[in-house]
Structure 1
Amino acid sequence: MNLFAAPFPAGWLIASAVLSCCVLSLALAWLRTRPPAPHLAGALAGATVCVLAAWLMSGGVREGLSFHLLGAALLTLMGGPAAALVSLALVIAAVSVVGQAGLLAFGPNFIAMACVPVAWVWAVFVLARRHLPANYFVYLFVVAFVGGGSSLLFASLAALAQLHLAGAYPADVLLEEGLPFYFLLSWSEAFMTGLMAAVLVVYRPQWVSTFDDAHYLRRED
């Protein structure tokens, strides 16, 4: 999913970079007014390093069609969308510096692999909290497992759509050599997110800002 700048016209790169800067500015402004607690900030820093390691252990058959776990869902559940966007921006910048993504393609990468999955996971969380029973297993299976797996799939679709619109690869190549692998990888993402969320809410619930004991573990009279 790591995109390079070569297939994209200059206007696309500039527009996506401006949009990414606007989104990051809003995220940073939110964090300045509502900073995470010190223990959560430390946990997010550690999680960001782990996500970076997962991105660096990637493989692929074509430029722009690399395969790795995403980690956006877990970061979103831990720190909320603003913190997750900032963490993913740091990850994308790091993999770009080491040459596994295009530094000039920061905008397309950030939109596909940060904005899309974070927005999707947050939407799943909000809708599940509003419309589904306040249950521990709803949080784990619907929000973490289903939300995590589908977040990677939607991020992949966003990246593939950009490659197709930019004329990098024909649609049949993307559908045959990219989409099936991303679909399979989404199950690994779902399992990883669900497992890590389960471990954290049991042993370190203070590291998961979206998990509220009073809401999910309340007793029904």
Structure 2
Amino acid sequence: MQLPNHLVSLPLATIGWLIALGSVAWAVRAAPWSALRAEPARLNLVGLAALFLLGMWSLKATLMPGLTLHFLGAATVTLVIGLELTLIAGLAAAIVLPLAFGGGMAITGWHFVLSALLPALITYAITRASQRWMPPNFFIYLFIGVFLSAVLGVIVHGFGTALLVMAMGLYDADIIWNNYLRILPLLAFPEGVINGMIMTALALVIPQWVISFDDHHYIDGR
């Protein structure tokens, strides 16, 4: 989500930045730094994740100012490097995005919340629930933890964006529904498929990169 600064009120921008900085402050405190120090090569994954998110977010279709369609990629990143590091990489990507491709910084906090924080939390919650309550089956991991979480992330992102632009007074509900929300399924399903393809390749070829996947748990002896 990119908007010029003059369209974003100071209180709204402040709320978005407070949520973003607060969640990343928690992520910095909770991140598994000791494990990363023991395996420093994994730090490269955090940088790659930030670049991946930046690339996904920069490939967008602008329907109307403030209403854009773009892939999120947050589900894949969360499954690979974990929730805490995803939030750190996501904020880095959200800050670089307007600097590299134009747009104001006032909306950056909300862009992080909608494109990284909420989808990452959804992916984390669904994956943990499926691991706890469902059989350790590789296809359950793909269809529930990967595909479903990616699709729901897009839907929550879309409705969150709609509520935000309505709160800003940019468009009314009918315009948002007819020009944005009705098109969301065209993005949600491909998001799930793309995330599924990436995670299938990573889980089968280099499972040691994927923090949420244990090949002995999901594949061996099954």
TM over 0.5: yes
Q: Matched residue of 1:66: which SS? A: strand
1:91 Cα deviation after fit? 1.3
Which residue of structure 1 lines up, in the alignment, with residue 196 of structure 2? 194
Alignment: residue pair count: 220
> What are the residue-to-residue correspondences of 1:41-60 with 2, within 5 Å?
41-60=43-62
The answer to whether structure 1 residue 209 and structure 2 residue 211 are counterparts is yes
User: What is the CA distance between 1:31 and its match in structure 2?
Assistant: 2.4
Pairwise CA distance, 1:95: 1.1
Task: Report the 3-state secondary structure (helix = DSSP H, G, I; strand = E; otherwise coil) of the residue aligned with 1:104.
Answer: coil
What corresponds to 2:95 in structure 1? 93
Partner of 1:122: 124
Does residue 180 of the first structure (1) align with residue 182 of the second (2)? yes
Identity of aligned residues (%): 23
TM-score, structure 2 length as denominator?
Answer: 0.91
In 2, Cα distance between the equivalents of 1:81 and 1:189? 19
**Which residue pairs with 2:41 in the alignment?**
39
In structure 2, the CA distance between the partners of 1:24 and 1:35, relative to structure 1 (3 Å rule), is: farther
TM normalised by structure 1 equals: 0.91
Unaligned runs of 5+ residues in structure 1 are none
Which range moves more in the overlay, 11-20 or 95-104? 95-104
CA apart distance, 1:189: 0.7
CA–CA separation in structure 2 for the residues paired with 1:21 and 1:50 = 21
Q: Is the 8 A contact 1:3 1:108 kept in 2?
A: no
State how far apart, in whole Å, the 1-side matches of 2:50 and 2:21 are: 20
> Segments of 4+ in structure 1 off by > 3 A?
1-8, 32-37
Q: Structure 2: state its 5+ residue gaps.
A: none
The alpha-carbon deviation at position 34 of structure 1 amounts to: 4.3
- What is the correspondence of 1:1-221 to structure 2 with a 5 Å cutoff? 1-31=1-31, 33-36=33-36, 37-219=39-221
Deviation at 1:96, TM superposition (A): 1.3
Deviation at 1:9, TM superposition (A): 2.4
Structure 1 residue 131: deviation in Å? 0.9
Question: Does the 8 Å contact 2:2/2:108 carry over to 1?
Answer: no
Whole-Å separation in 2 of the counterparts to 1:218 and 1:132? 17
Mapped partners of 1:33, 1:80: distance in 2:
12
Measure the CA separation in 1 of the matches of 2:29 and 2:220: 33
3-state SS, counterpart of residue 168 of structure 1? coil
| 1:146–1:4 distance in 2 versus 1, CA, 3 Å | farther
Letter in 2 for 1:23: S
State how far apart, in whole Å, the 1-side matches of 2:204 and 2:86 are. Answer: 21
CA contact (8 A) 1:4 1:64 kept: no
